[in-house]
Amino acid sequence: MTKKTRDQVEVFEEVLQDSQDKKYVLRLYVAGSTPRSMDAILAIKKICEEHLKGRYELEVIDLYQQPTLARGEQIVAVPTLVKKLPLPLRKFIGNMGDVDRILVGLDLKPRDEVKPEHDKT
């Protein structure tokens, strides 16, 4: 193995370790206990347990019970998932069942591994 290749491997391993140590702070905004809200909660909990086990904090906020929080976070539609940490802040609106979209947005999966929507079977 050349020195350059060895250096690249070391850098890759450091980046991989850093990404595995990151703590994710997520907020999921829903509206009541509708089927859509329940589906979103279950989908996000499943993603977190499968891909972030032990290194995430998920807060579920029902905007019917805490409507003022929608204004502060500029929530215009529900369900909305907000990734507070690690930076950059990101928002996901709508279908939380699109696992690939969520994983790419959380930087847990490279974009080039996701098939375009029309190619999925």
pLDDT digits (tens, 9 = 90+) for 26-77: 999 999 999 999 999 999 999 999 999 999 999 999 999 999 988 888 999 9
CATH number for the domain including 106? 3.40.30.10
Domain count, the chain: 1
Is residue 29 a part of any domain in this protein?
yes
Using alpha carbons only, give the angle 89, 94, 95 rounded to the nearest 5 degrees. 110
19, part of any domain: no
Is 4 a domain residue? no
Mean per-residue pLDDT for 9-26?
A: 69
pLDDT at 7: 67
Decide if 121 is inside a domain: no
- Does residue 117 form part of some domain? no
Within a domain: residue 14? Answer: no
Decide if 73 contacts 84 (C-beta within 8 A). Answer: no
Residue 32 confidence (pLDDT): 96
Domain that holds residue 71: 24-111
Of 88, 92, 116, whose CA–CA distance to 103 is shortest?
92
Q: Do the domain assignments include residue 5?
A: no
The count of other CB atoms within 10 Å of the CB of residue 22 is 14
From the list 49, 26, 37, 31, the residue with the least C-alpha distance to 96 is 37
Residue 29: alpha-carbon gap to chain centroid: 13
pLDDT for 70 equals 86
pLDDT for the residue 36? 96
SS (H, E, C) 43-64: HHHHHHHHHCCCCEEEEEEECC
Residue 89 resides in a domain:
yes
